[in-house]
Amino acid sequence: NFEITFLGDYPRNFGDPGFQKVNGLFHTLGEDCVFSGLRIFNNPGVGVGSWKKTGGTIIEYCKVYNNGHLRKDKGIGEGFYVQNQSDKERIIRNNFIFNNYYKGIEVWSASSGVGFEFVKNVRLENNIIFNNGTPAGKHVDNLIIASDDKEGINVARNIKVLNNVLYHNINHEDNSNYGHGASLTLGYNFKSPVRDIVVNDNLIIGKNNALRLFHVKSMNFKRNTIYSGYVNFFNSTLNSINKDSWAVSNNNYYTRKFKAFRVIKTRDFSLDEWQKEYKTELHSEWNPLKNFKMNKALYIEKSPDNAKSYEIAVLNSEAKSVQVDFTSSGIEENTNYKILDLASGDIIESGQLKSNKQIEIKPGNHNGTALNFGVYTIEFEEVSKKRKSLFERLFGWIF
């Protein structure tokens, strides 16, 4: 529950006088550690480095944003860079990761020929990951899981991606959805296809290439909602699609073209054609982009350091208000509250909780988001209970 940041004026361009590359949190040694409630921002390097010798570590309830710098007009500095050589699971959950100069989360190794595995056994759950790359002027992967090992030994495997929001700025009134903006990429080098990947119950929103299943040996991919131009594959993945290695079903696709499944430089398939050809995507559905409608609170969680504070993510595809329900919170009617920008802490609005226990939030561009999406903190005031007088305590039963 503290901040890791840079203060004052400092250069964010590599090569400028006084420039320093400084990372936020670099965890290189030590297993079974817990990092909770950290705010890691404005560092001219990686936000969080969670490296291969730190098995069993949990990183939760952190806000990691605006980390990185520019080098030759390219963004450098991920929100999270994650590796794991241990059989213990690395858990990254309930974090907000946004507006970093390079990718949001890289579960990744750029090394080749190392001869052992260290991109494995990671769980990413209930994170809000959006608009990474934008400080450098380009939407890049909110999440990539891959390895560049040309020997096919250090393969990314046993990675779980559960109930996350992966978002890039979209205008849902414009159904063309052109441009680069990958939200999820699986695989990078065809010699090291990812395997034993679970991607379930996620919201994946991006531009023309929001979902890229480049080199995938085996995966479980179910109950996801995808908003993209196409679903992109390389040919290497096609050889792995079968009932034993691919459990893919019950997904909802919203794409620009009817032929949504694109094998790059080969062929585009409609969902029906894809199902018949590869016997996959059972009970999945396709719709054009214009049919995408969503109005909901995507995330409501108590802040780890304040029982009267909640962290919120909302999306309304029509850029209208979202009703956030606090019925089950136990907070009393007429309790005063403030809606704060999740990053800056600036007060956006204040009010009193009504009898229906609903708070209306209109998404805005407070963190560079489109007008259909936003992240906030809602703080409720402590309700002070007036101490009764001696007379009221003795004779209150009469009244």
- Please give the Cα distance from 331 to 359 (Å, whole number): 12
- Please give the Cα distance from 46 to 75 (Å, whole number): 11
* 94-108, 152-166, 171-185, 259-273: segment of lowest average pLDDT: 171-185
Residue 155: half-sphere exposure toward Cβ, Cα within 13 Å? 17
- Please give the Cα distance from 80 to 67 (Å, whole number): 10
Residue bearing tokens 């901040």: 3
Please calculate the CA angle 236-240-242 and round it to the nearest 5 degrees: 145
Q: What is the pLDDT of residue 390?
A: 60
**Number of Cβ atoms within 10 Å of the Cβ of 53:** 14
- Please give the Cα distance from 292 to 139 (Å, whole number): 21
Does the pLDDT of residue 393 top 90, yes or no?
no
pLDDT interval class at 177 (50, 70, 90): confident
% of the chain beyond a pLDDT of 90: 90
Instruction: Give the domain ranges of the chain.
Output: 3-291, 295-380
Judge whether 220 and 250 are in contact, CB under 8 Å. no
- Please give the Cα distance from 24 to 46 (Å, whole number): 6
Q: What is the pLDDT of residue 175?
A: 77
Mean pLDDT of 144-158: 97
pLDDT interval class at 383 (50, 70, 90): low
Does the pLDDT of residue 240 top 80, yes or no?
yes
28: DSSP letter: -
pLDDT interval class at 124 (50, 70, 90): very high
**Cα 90 to chain center, whole Å?**
16
Please calculate the CA angle 272-276-279 and round it to the nearest 5 degrees: 115
- pTM (whole model) above 0.85: yes
Amino acid 146 reads A
Q: What is the pLDDT of residue 303?
A: 92
Residue 73 to residues 24, 136, 257: CA-CA distances in angstroms?
22, 7, 33
Q: What is the pLDDT of residue 173?
A: 84
- Please give the Cα distance from 293 to 315 (Å, whole number): 10
Q: Give the number of residues written for the chain.
A: 399
Residue 290, classed as helix, strand or coil, is helix
Residue 148 to residues 10, 113, 117, 151, 153: CA-CA distances in angstroms?
34, 10, 12, 9, 10
- Tell me the average pLDDT of the chain: 94
Nearest residue to 216 via CA among 190, 184, 242: 190
- Please give the Cα distance from 37 to 60 (Å, whole number): 7
- Please give the Cα distance from 302 to 43 (Å, whole number): 26
- The CATH class of 295-380 is mainly beta
Mean pLDDT of 309-313: 98
